[in-house]
Chain A
Amino acid sequence: MKTGSESPIIVLGARLLSPFIMLFGLYVIFHGHYSPGGGFQGGALLAASVLLMRVASGTQISSLMVKESLTTPLGVVGVLIYFGTGLLAFLMGGDFLDYGALPIPGLSPEYLRYTGILIIEIGVGLAVMMVMILLYDKMATGEEEVE
């Protein structure tokens, strides 16, 4: 799967479609706390936009969007955002993942919960996106590493 498709029509179609899928994924993540959707679905949409480019044009061209060596560190960063937010609330005197105890100045408790869920969903979306791209990369290059 290194070479990808030869047809310029498929590559052009994927290039046209990919940014809109990515924009919709960002919309789903940032509106996840008061409408259907959320971190997992938005992250899967973001991953789908990158995977579409990888299927259509091969790994070499589409690694301009997300480098293969970048997937594991960014996935770890996503998990750390999730865990760090929960632990920060725990250390500030609340329960684990109690967004009302987050130390953000100038916000009422309702807006603290609102912002806390948004931070959690950004972390979940980043982790899901990167792990799905990592699965694809490992499956696409798995044969060559064995030889």
Chain B
Amino acid sequence: MYWEFELILFVFLLLVGLVALEVKDLLVSVVMLSAFSFTMALMFTSMGAVDVGFTEAVVGAGVTGILFLIALYQTTQKSKD
């Protein structure tokens, strides 16, 4: 019954996932993965799984993004091509 809303979310999900895969800058990739997780949380909520969506929003979009960011700052980028 919410198929229009879910269609928009699916298109946005594909777009964000492709950008996260194809972009050169890893910081942009981390932010796009957070956006991907948040879109997934919205989709879970619209399908009725509020608890799963809650966990996805907190862990996927919040804590995992911070951990990726720390891993990014702890490693150095040697090549400049």
* Chain A interfacial positions (CB closer than 8 Å to B): 1, 28, 36-38, 40-41, 44-45, 47-48, 51-52, 55, 132, 135-136, 139-140, 142-143
Query: Cβ of B70 < 8 Å from any Cβ of A?
Result: yes
Size class of B's contact patch? 10 to 19
Roughly how many angstroms separate A139 CA and B69 CA in the complex, as a whole number?
10
Contact B50 A36 (CB under 8 A): yes
Roughly how many angstroms separate A41 CA and B74 CA in the complex, as a whole number?
27
Query: Cβ of B31 < 8 Å from any Cβ of A?
Result: no
Determine which of A45, A139, A140, A143 lies in contact with B58 in the assembled complex, contact meaning CB atoms within 8 Å: A45
Q: Is the interface of B mostly helix, strand, loop or mixed?
A: helix
* Chain B interfacial positions (CB closer than 8 Å to A): 50-51, 54-55, 58-59, 62-63, 66-67, 69-71, 73-74
- Which chain A residue has the least Cβ–Cβ distance from B74? A143
Contact A139 B74 (CB under 8 A): yes
Q: Is the interface of A mostly helix, strand, loop or mixed?
A: helix
Contact A37 B70 (CB under 8 A): no
Contact A41 B70 (CB under 8 A): no
A139-B74, A143-B74 as given contacts; A51 in contact with B63, CB under 8 Å = yes
Contact A44 B62 (CB under 8 A): yes
Roughly how many angstroms separate A132 CA and B64 CA in the complex, as a whole number?
10
Determine which of A38, A47, A142 lies in contact with B63 in the assembled complex, contact meaning CB atoms within 8 Å: A47
Output the least CB separation between A19 and chain B (Å): 16
Contact A136 B67 (CB under 8 A): yes
- Which chain B residue has the least Cβ–Cβ distance from A42? B58
Contact B58 A136 (CB under 8 A): no
- Which chain A residue has the least Cβ–Cβ distance from B58? A44
Q: 15 extra interchain contacts, Cβ-Cβ under 8 A, other than A37-B51, A48-B58?
A: A1-B70, A28-B54, A36-B54, A41-B51, A41-B54, A45-B62, A48-B62, A51-B66, A55-B66, A135-B67, A136-B67, A139-B71, A140-B70, A140-B74, A143-B74
